[in-house]
Amino acid sequence: MRFVIIGGDAAGMSAASRAKRNAPDLEVIVLEATTDVSYSACGMPYNIAQSERDMNDLVVRHAKVFKEKQGIDLRLGHTVEKIDRGRKAVMGSASEWGTFEIEYDRLLIATGARPLIPDIPGNDLPGVKALKSLEDGRRIKDYLAANDVKQALIVGMGYIGLEMAEAFHARGVCTDMIEMRPRLLPYLPEEMAALVRKELEDKGIGVHLGAGIKAVESRDGRLAAQCDQAEFTVDMVLMAAGITPNSEIAAGAGLDLGPGKAVAVDRFLRTSDPDIYAAGDCADAFHVLTGSRVWIPLALRANRAGWAVADNITGSPAELPGIMGTAVFKVLDLEVARTGLSVEEARQAGFDPVENLIQSRSRAHSHPGNTTISVNLVSDQKSRKLLGGAMVGKEGAAHRINSLAVALHAGMTVDDFFQCDMAYAPPFSPVWDPLLTAANQMLKKL
């Protein structure tokens, strides 16, 4: 059997490697449009923050390892342009070999996603960048090295935008951020979002909400970015307004699409064609709490889905229960974490949500270095079931969120969660962990 994979990043190479482990005699062909495979995309902002680091430090496994040690037929510079489902073949063009056509028995679409670039004049100027691929990271780092970048504008305030604000700050670049939405991080309670905004502004980063970009033009060797509220004269513009799935070849083949135009898959990662699978940032998923289709592109899901596809095509059926949207990111000195549903998302899903927000301490009150940590919980009034939560603090938020994520996966009520036996030692937590304090206050509300 021939297993063909379109895309050689997290989902694609996870599927290829596991398929060869499961079935060493299986023919596995990976078609990757770029020259990069298997790298830590999430590490790029932190790499960019350090001028002396090589962007290639983020490569987890080089292409030759997949070829020579694992027996995977990995073909770089191969862009798939069409899927012919009737003939079970993919067609495209290769950078050095011209056009190609390859037949498959099973096919995985793992084409990822790409940055959303506003359709405005000047979006292709040399100083206008986006960050998604390793090559994007190289271009940004090369531009910073070759140019005297003293001021930058970031368009968008999602994960990448906020992480890149920290990277620019670390390199001494004066930074402003604009966001079309009227709220910063709308899935957080306003009090929590205000903490993030204060952290940014205290470090000298300008925050401009309700402001979209209209045009960028070259002016006297710099860039003039025209926005709804003002004009910014900068040396670099980073487009970080979100991403969109690379689902065009799937749509062209007549496969069903889901939320955000991601490729629709079932819990076995099958598309509407049973011989074609999809995984990674190009594919949708089911939300654990609502059962609804969602598009939440995250690294763990991509890798897990790649494994599941490999198991399914090699005879070990693997069904994924879904995704919770658990995420954490760093904003300068703050850790920001979330999982499950916000109160508004819970309301839209048909729950009767109750939320609370408490402030606690990251360590015992008498222990040196303890800091404030804010904890938000969301639960359902009728069932008392936990629905979600978020945390913001200088320490202790990033890993505590995993406890809440596990509770959500287990379907715990607030009562169940409050009885959990959590570890205590003064350097790490008060006797009553902040999550338990939040659960206790939620019980009083319920």
Per-residue model confidence (pLDDT) at position 48 = 97
- Within a 10 A sphere around the Cβ of 43, how many other Cβ atoms? 17
63 backbone φψ class: left, alpha, beta (φ>0; ψ -120 to 50): alpha
Cβ atoms of 104 and 84 closer than 8 Å: no
- Chain-centroid distance, C-alpha 370: 30
Asked if residue 286 belongs to a domain, the reply is yes
Q: Locate tokens 């005297």: which residue? A: 148
| Alpha carbons 146 and 151: distance in angstroms, whole number | 15
Asked if residue 22 belongs to a domain, the reply is yes
- Domain-terminating residue out of 256, 285, 313: 313
Q: Is there a single domain that holds both residue 431 and residue 398?
A: yes
Catalytic residues: 42
Question: Which of 260, 256, 259, 207 shows the shortest CA–CA distance to 230?
Answer: 207
Asked if residue 70 belongs to a domain, the reply is no
Asked if residue 53 belongs to a domain, the reply is no
Structural domain including 10 reads 2-34+77-114+245-313
- Chain-centroid distance, C-alpha 154: 18
Q: Is there a single domain that holds both residue 233 and residue 304?
A: no
Per-residue model confidence (pLDDT) at position 61 = 87
Q: Is there a single domain that holds both residue 162 and residue 229?
A: yes
Based on its alpha-carbon atoms, the radius of gyration of the chain, rounded to whole angstroms, reads: 23
- Domain-terminating residue out of 241, 258, 284: 241
Per-residue model confidence (pLDDT) at position 228 = 87
Q: Is there a single domain that holds both residue 288 and residue 308?
A: yes
Per-residue model confidence (pLDDT) at position 69 = 87
With a cut of 50, list the residues of the chain below it in pLDDT: none
Question: Which of 392, 391, 349, 395 shows the shortest CA–CA distance to 368?
Answer: 395
Question: Which of 186, 189, 131 shows the shortest CA–CA distance to 155?
Answer: 131
Q: Is the dihedral of CA 194, 198, 199, 200 positive or negative?
A: positive
User: What are the C-alpha distances in Å from 236 to residues 142, 175, 222, 239?
Assistant: 12, 10, 8, 10
- Domain-terminating residue out of 241, 264, 285: 241
| Alpha carbons 125 and 215: distance in angstroms, whole number | 11
Into how many domains does the chain fold?
A: 3
Asked if residue 391 belongs to a domain, the reply is yes
- pTM here is 0.95
Asked if residue 217 belongs to a domain, the reply is yes
Q: Is there a single domain that holds both residue 105 and residue 126?
A: no
Q: Is there a single domain that holds both residue 343 and residue 435?
A: yes
Per-residue model confidence (pLDDT) at position 103 = 98
Asked if residue 59 belongs to a domain, the reply is no
Helices 299-313 & 10-22 angle (0-180, nearest 10): 30
Q: What is the CATH number of the domain that holds 197?
A: 3.50.50.60
Q: Is there a single domain that holds both residue 122 and residue 236?
A: yes
Per-residue model confidence (pLDDT) at position 362 = 94
Per-residue model confidence (pLDDT) at position 366 = 87
> What DSSP character marks residue 333?
T
- Within a 10 A sphere around the Cβ of 4, how many other Cβ atoms? 24
> What DSSP character marks residue 56?
G
Q: Is there a single domain that holds both residue 142 and residue 234?
A: yes
Instruction: 299-303: list long-range contacts, CB under 8 Å, 24+ apart.
Output: 299/10, 299/41, 299/42, 302/9, 302/10, 302/11, 302/14, 302/110, 303/10, 303/11, 303/14
Q: Is there a single domain that holds both residue 364 and residue 284?
A: no
Q: Is there a single domain that holds both residue 105 and residue 123?
A: no
Q: Is there a single domain that holds both residue 149 and residue 237?
A: yes
Q: Could you tell me where the DSSP H helices lie in 153-189?
A: 159-170
Cβ atoms of 154 and 178 closer than 8 Å: yes
Q: Is there a single domain that holds both residue 271 and residue 386?
A: no
Asked if residue 157 belongs to a domain, the reply is yes
